[in-house]
Amino acid sequence: MSEYDQPKINNPHRLPDSLNRYCMNLVRDYPRLIKRLAEEVPGTPEYTEKLIRCEAVEQALRIVKPEYRKGILNYLTRKVKQYPAGACNETYMRECRKFKHQIAVNLKIL
């Protein structure tokens, strides 16, 4: 394996594959979670679980720079890349990795 093919070891926001998929699925499910949260009865275990997940995503969104928030949500929920003006792919993906890493930290699974 060439040196450039190896994963970046000193990337602080790199997640294991299973955790990365979990965070991506949580973000893809985020719009449905918000709708379901409005239908649930407060105080039930299902309501609390959905509330924790929604708050984890919302708190992680606050970490991301404001100009990237809408684009990152669109990319992760609909797989549509909408780069803000003046943003390169690398910067955009770095913010996306930070977002997913922060979700894992907020859920206390990392």
Indicate the number of domains in the chain.
1
Does the residue 41 lie in any domain? yes
Does the residue 9 lie in any domain? no
Q: What is the pLDDT of residue 7?
A: 54
Does the residue 74 lie in any domain? yes
* 76 Cβ contact list (under 8 Å, min separation 6): 24, 27, 28, 96, 99
Assigned token pair, 53: 């997940």
Contact 89, 83 (CB under 8 A): yes
pTM for this model (two decimals): 0.85
Does the residue 3 lie in any domain? no
Closest C-alpha among 59, 51, 47, 45 to residue 104: 59
Residue 22: Cβ-neighbour burial (10 angstroms; 0-12, 13-18, 19+): middle
3-class DSSP state of 110: coil
Q: Which domain does 73 fall in, by range?
A: 14-106
Does the residue 46 lie in any domain? yes
| DSSP one-letter string for 92-103 | HHHHHHHHHHHH
User: pLDDT tens, position by position, for the chain (110 residues)?
Assistant: 344 444 566 788 888 889 999 999 999 999 999 999 999 889 899 999 999 999 999 999 999 989 888 888 888 888 787 777 777 888 888 888 999 999 999 999 98
Does the residue 5 lie in any domain? no
